[in-house]
Amino acid sequence: MAQDKSETEGFSAEGWTCPLPLRDYPAIVMAHGGGGKLSADLVRHLFLPLFANPALDALDDQAVIEIDGARLAISTDSFTVSPLFFPGGDIGSLAVHGTVNDVAMAGARPLYITAGFILEEGLAMDALGRIATSMAESCRRAGVQMITGDTKVVDRGHGDGVYINTTGIGIVPDGVHIAANRAKPGDVVIVSGEIGLHGITILAAREGLGFEADLESDTAPLNGLVAAMLEVTREIHCLRDPTRGGLASTLNELAASSGVGIEIDEAAVPVPPAVAAACEMLGLDPFYVANEGKLVAILPEEHAEAVLERMRSHPLGRKAAIIGRVVEEHPRVVVAKTGIGGRRVVDMLVGEQLPRIC
């Protein structure tokens, strides 16, 4: 075929050789998508060197770019949760909330969202209708418009009912500069509520563990809570929603990006009794369990009480708590003071604790 060969010159995919830190894994394992150390390795050693640019290199959960003077926050996420429907939500609401939240974590006001559906042949039309209805409801709740979408169908057995990708676009207000690398020694660490609900709910629903009745995913759009916090002060340094990898991985990412240490008071972290009981039974640590309606904020101590008070007056921040602070000591390391007065290092998630929770 007479093709324009010059157009494909320089194409070097054949020359790709696996970088050293990835060589222990010649094939993809579940943990490469778990939000822990292997996920980070894949991003740092495979994707970043190929696509390097300032927006990507910041390694935030969203990119902030400037177009004609407006600062836009853009985030993309694919959702593969199993089961598709679970107490408190479904893959549709999760797909809207997850991306709205990643945009909001830049302090941005999410405006628009897109959806890419990968449907498995044989998916019940009724199930798709319920999922789409739930997405529409979540869009209304979050105040975002679904502006474009795409639908592909894969052969039976090559999907899992439905996978959904959402991409969100928001505007960062003037004076707001929130990024993972802005935590400073002396800053206070706040979590917006009880942790572990989403991950344990999914696990219980999937495995039929018998305590589903006590649990409900916390999936929710956090843009309203973020807007309320920014009304108190624009001096918020970091915001992140502790999804895959849980609170522990999020704190480690923020400590690493900012080059600071973080010290947590374990007893101050709100863990609901049902999550604590489930974790004890299953041998899990709630610090590593995913959340889908919680955020971690790092901000100067002088604003902490006022922000905390405002959060507690919001339906999604009623159980917000100060859980620790940023320190100069042990940079890039998160340390927890335990209930009995000891100290333990809280590491990044290694391996895969709970697959397919989002």
For a second copy, the binding residues in 83-142 under the rule CB under 8 A are 88, 90, 92-93, 111-112, 114-126, 128-137, 139, 141
CA distance 314 to 323: 19
Q: Which two tokens stand for residue 12?
A: 């070097």
The answer to whether 20 contacts a second copy (rule: CB under 8 A) is no
Residue in 285, 343, 329, 267 with CA at minimum distance from that of residue 36: 285
Q: Is 267 an interacting residue with respect to a second copy (CB under 8 A)? A: no
145 vs 313, which CB is nearer to a second copy? 145
Q: Which of 15-23, 172-180, 232-240, 295-303 is the region at the interface with a second copy (rule: CB under 8 A)?
A: 15-23
Of 21, 44, 76, 331, which one interacts with a second copy (CB under 8 A)?
76
| Cα gap 263→96, rounded to integer Å | 32
Options 36, 110, 159, 324; binder of a second copy; rule CB under 8 A: 159
As measured in angstroms, the least distance from the Cβ of 226 to a second copy is 16
Which of 130, 184 has the CB closer to a second copy?
130
Token pair 């991950």 in the structure block, residue: 199
Give me the torsion for CA of 172, 174, 175, 176, rounded to 10°. -10
CB of 296 to a second copy, least distance (A): 19
Determine phi and psi for 14, rounding to 5 degrees. Answer: -65, -30
Q: Is 36 or 261 the residue whose CB approaches a second copy more closely?
A: 36
The minimum distance between CB 342 and a second copy, in angstroms, equals 30
Question: 125 vs 340, which CB is nearer to a second copy?
Answer: 125
Beta bridge partners of 335: 263, 345
CB of 164 or CB of 299, closer to a second copy: 164
User: Beta strand 343-345 with 188-191: parallel, antiparallel or unpaired?
Assistant: unpaired
Q: Single out the residue of 21, 146, 234, 300 in contact with a second copy (rule: CB under 8 A).
A: 146
With CB under 8 A as the contact rule, which of the stretches 158-166, 234-242, 256-264, 282-290 interacts with a second copy?
158-166
Nearer to a second copy (CB atom), residue 104 or residue 326: 104
Pairing of strands 261-265, 334-337: parallel
Nearest to a second copy of 144, 251 (CB atom): 144
State how beta strands 296-299 and 63-67 pair: unpaired
295 binds a second copy (CB under 8 A): no
Q: Is 12 in the site for a second copy (CB under 8 A)?
A: yes
Q: Give the x-and-dash track for 317-356 against a second copy (CB under 8 A).
A: -x------------------------------------xx
Q: Give the DSSP letter string of 189-238.
A: EEE-S--SHHHHHHHHHHHT-S-GGG--------HHHHHHHHHH-S---E
Which residue, 92 or 246, has its beta carbon nearer to a second copy? 92
Please tell me whether residue 55 binds a second copy under the rule CB under 8 A: yes
User: How far is it, in rounded angstroms, from Cα 203 to Cα 164?
Assistant: 20
Neighbours of 110 (CB within 10 A): 29
Q: Which helix (DSSP H) or strand (DSSP E) does residue 71 occupy?
A: strand 70-79
* Residue 49 and residue 20 in contact, taking contact as beta carbons nearer than 8 Å: no
State the Cα angle at 143 between 139 and 144, rounded to 5°. Answer: 60
Piece of 76-84, 281-289, 294-302, 325-333 that binds a second copy (CB under 8 A): 76-84
**Least distance CB 85 / a second copy (angstroms):** 9
One residue of 84, 104, 108, 169 binding a second copy per CB under 8 A:
169
Cα 209 from chain centroid (whole Å): 25
